[in-house]
């Protein structure tokens, strides 16, 4: 569903998370993408596409998920302005706040949001009822959210108020 919204020849940031890794896999047939990532799993997957240029951020590698974070990663991200930033989060609060658990990861995600012309949030429905404590930003900074199940009506109203497009895979059938 996300891959359908990404044109060939686009420049992308793809951050940490299993959902963003699935998006990377779905982009396998796209032509001439330029992908900047702090996720070694995404880099490995995307580098198999001969029509794709992959740029990997430097920094500290987390052993648990092959994510790269830290000051060097933030400085690296600041050098670019891309067409689309694809991010995942750990939690979406009822007021539209976006949260994660790792302070270092949050700092990198903030830079990705700042340096993307459009931001796509990819998440599964469990993130709507989970609490994490480190604030990333607000949904108003997101252009579209892609998820697997429709959120509550109150949340859909919040998305409309913040001018965020909603894509739901269960409705795509």
- The tens digit of pLDDT for each residue in 66-81 reads 999 999 999 999 999 9
Tell me: pLDDT of 90 over 70.
yes
Residue 59: which pLDDT band, with cuts at 50, 70 and 90? Answer: very high
The count of C-alpha atoms lying within 13 angstroms of the C-alpha of 130, restricted to the half-sphere facing its C-beta, is: 14
| pLDDT score for 171 | 62
SS3 128: helix
- The tens digit of pLDDT for each residue in 122-137 reads 999 999 979 999 999 9
Residues 6+ apart with CB under 8 A from 61: 40, 67, 68
Q: Are 88 and 19 in contact (CB under 8 A)?
A: yes
Question: Per residue in 134-172, is it b (16+ CB within 10 Å) or e — as a string?
Answer: bebbebebbbbbbbbeebeeebeebbeeeebeebbeeee
């Amino acid at each position: 569903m996300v891959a359908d919204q990404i044109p060939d020849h686009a420049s992308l940031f793809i951050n940490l998370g299993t959902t963003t890794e699935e998006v990377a896999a779905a982009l396998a047939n796209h032509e001439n993408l330029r992908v900047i990532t702090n996720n070694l799993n995404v880099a490995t997957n995307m580098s198999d596409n001969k029509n794709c240029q992959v740029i990997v951020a430097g920094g500290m590698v987390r052993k648990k998920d092959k994510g790269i974070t830290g000051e060097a990663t933030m400085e690296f991200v600041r050098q670019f302005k891309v067409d689309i930033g694809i991010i995942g989060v750990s939690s979406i609060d009822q007021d539209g706040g976006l949260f994660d658990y790792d302070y270092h990861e949050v700092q990198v995600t903030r830079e990705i949001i700042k340096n993307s012309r459009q931001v796509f949030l990819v998440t599964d429905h469990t993130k709507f009822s989970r609490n994490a404590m480190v604030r990333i930003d607000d949904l108003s900074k997101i252009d579209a959210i892609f998820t697997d199940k429709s959120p509550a009506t109150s949340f859909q109203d919040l998305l409309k108020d913040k001018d965020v497009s909603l894509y739901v895979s269960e409705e795509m059938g």
